[in-house]
Each structure stands twice: as C-alpha cells, then as structure tokens.
Amino acid sequence: DIQMTQSPSSLSASVGDRVTITCRASQGIRNSLTWFQQKPGKVPKSIIYDASSLQSGVPPKFSGSGYGTEFTLTISSLQPEDFATYYCQQYDGHPFTFGGGTKVEMK
C-alpha cells in the first residue's frame, strides 16, 4: 500500500498568516492527489484535486502543488473559517490512502 505522510500533524497560526502543509507519498503517485478540509462534526470538503486543480467554488487563497512523491497545500492568508483539519489522499493506486491529517489551530 502507498503510505501518505503529512507534516506537521498540527500547527498554530494567526489570521493573515501564510500556511503550508506537506504530504509525502511512499512511492510516486504522479499528480493523483487530493486535499480535503474537515471542520469538527462536519463532512469533509474537497478543496484541491489532481494535486493543483481548485475544486469548484473554493476560493483561490487555497493552492496545491507537487508531483510524484511530494505535495504541498498552501493557504495564502489564513482566515477564521480556515481553522480545520486538512487531509491529503492519493488515488493513483488501490487501496486509496489518506494522510493522517494536519490540524490548523488558532495561535
């Protein structure tokens, strides 16, 4: 199975900060990577697919990059509604696997 490792597992940031989350795959997955945002008690929401494509309706403060084994999710200017847990997931090979999540908390 392809292992997905997210870092950091948690971070503290302030409104207006630029935040970057990293996801590493144990083997190459091309650009078959997606990012989700999940708030407590809520359904996960897709924000990025194919590593860098913005999901419909998602604001452009979110961006994704990477190919192969290393990927990043960047929030250009953190807003109060962005405090949440973020997960990456690969869909290049079965079984599809998720990273362990990164919790973005208010400093």
37 binds other proteins (CB under 8 A): no
Which 57-86 positions form the footprint of other proteins (CB under 8 A)? none
Q: Provide the token pair at 84.
A: 């949440």
Q: In terms of Cα–Cα distance, which of 87, 89, 73, 72 is closest to 33?
A: 89
**Which span (13-21, 36-44, 65-73, 74-82) binds other proteins, by CB under 8 A?**
36-44
Question: Between residues 64 and 82, which has the closer beta carbon with respect to other proteins?
Answer: 64
**Could you say which of 25, 82, 86, 89 contacts other proteins (CB under 8 A)?**
89
Query: What are the Cα distances from residue 96, in Å, to 21, 50, 76?
Result: 20, 14, 28
Distance CA 20, CA 99 (A): 15
**Which span (10-18, 22-30, 53-61, 72-80) binds other proteins, by CB under 8 A?**
53-61
Residue 36 beta carbon to other proteins: minimum distance, rounded to whole angstroms: 7
Residue 41 beta carbon to other proteins: minimum distance, rounded to whole angstroms: 10
Distance CA 82, CA 36 (A): 12
Answer yes or no: are the C-beta atoms of 22 and 87 closer than 8 Å: no
